[in-house]
Chains A and B, each alone.
Chain A
């Protein structure tokens, strides 16, 4: 036993505070020049003729005020916006919410289309002077296979971008599947990706069944996180996939009786499934990651790959849209 010595370490921690603490700090950020932000799209759904819609805003200092007045001031007015297709230029007109409401009431524009685009119900926007550029005389609408060039001139600078609408790829079938408690589930779909890589898609869903107030549960189509995907791993395959219920950006509150991320068995869900170009996919996927990371230490800051030239921001996107409906069962 003499050459055997045993050590026993008894480590006792008197106090152990492992509390990561947080505090708000003030950061002096340099002032940078405002940039033009383009949120433009042109759709084809094979049913209605859809005009291009372009929203122009400016970027703003990070800690600038965020009240409605300040946001309203970000809209860019009086820009010269044209869309060129088949070598023909089409001038877009600026319309603000008051004009839009008039057009909706006169049946020129469908209210749901505007709500989809804004991602918010028109009701919520009353009193907020929301502006966009579009064509209301039906002289231009989206068609698959065509390429659309967007030209914007404002503040002495000209910005351009091009996009096209890929051929439609309807879902084979859609259904609801319970994931939890038999009554909560996800929206499922079966699709077939055509052979050849380079196809990309975007998924939206909208609960069109009514809530307790008698309104549709979602005022507009909602793109859940990870709404877009490409065919790198699914090229030429027929397969099933599912999406949870997303939240409209900037509003993560659920109505009473709703479970976050889940659809209900009783929900009637409209599905909007789009074909998109790869460059649109690249923008959307990084945009979604950025919108959800907010300076996490495990993410590195990314520049979102815009397709607007001349130091502009945002996206000019073509969508080939098909609609489906999952009917809720009581």
Chain B
């Protein structure tokens, strides 16, 4: 009993000492602290952040990394907190954001510094694909450093379900896809699994891309783009046809992906984060074997095009520790930083000079495609449409799920583009 009391007492003094030490060091370290704001708290992504953080600590012994991560997938909570901080002009030193139009509100509000100087200094324009640079530039200025790349247009399928239905391999075009869905339907399996509303918007972006082709798709996001064209009508009719083969909507993307893994459903179109879910051991995934239990291909009609989304870091105006933020951005942009982060996160680096041996299985395929494909930006994941536009597209798709009225959907998309086109 006495021993316990003694050890508790010593523990208390120990913690007290620890507190003192930190406080005394706090005064001088305060201006060297680098507050990095992100929503990377889940398995994989938090590990990746930690790996980058270690590199940062090694290269910058003067700065102290301060992890201001806010939990919550896709960053809803984090971004709500971030807006209030930015409104109060109390920005973190650097924050995570999806590269592309999602940052547009911040840029227009004058909250971000242009990073062209950093791109010139580090010769990043040579390290990243030229199309990526084009697609994240706003009037010649670049406001963020992409750390990773995810792919949106991936068709996941169950080879044995396809075999049973007499479908050999993934469909290459939308028409083939519809024919294959019909074949699967005859076997009584679910042809296409879907999740909640946002996964249907995710499906729409792949169908638009596959149906219109890359150039016409990219044109949709240019000023005065024509959303009322007959081609868009055709694409939306394809969307309706494909959606008619969808199973009961699941709660989110995981249960929908699981239907494919379990052999209940044949196809699912989802971003490449699904790979980790299929492949990882049972604590975080389903422990399935690639090319056997599940397989993938470019979503129909999009082979040769990489529909990308990316997490990136920014430099807010008035960052308390600007030098520290730039030091962090340099790590985030470096080959070393990206190769440390991405294998753990389950994504590929934005740089084309990455160490290929680090990326296995799906990721090696993805990296290969990244270096040679044409690029197109994702809608649902914040690349091509700003928040208001994306939200309007989500509303239109949600209403369409009930009305099944293509003309009305197109009308809503036309007015969404008119009201929000940047």
Q: Do A and B bind each other?
A: no
Q: Footprint of A on B, CB under 8 Å?
A: none
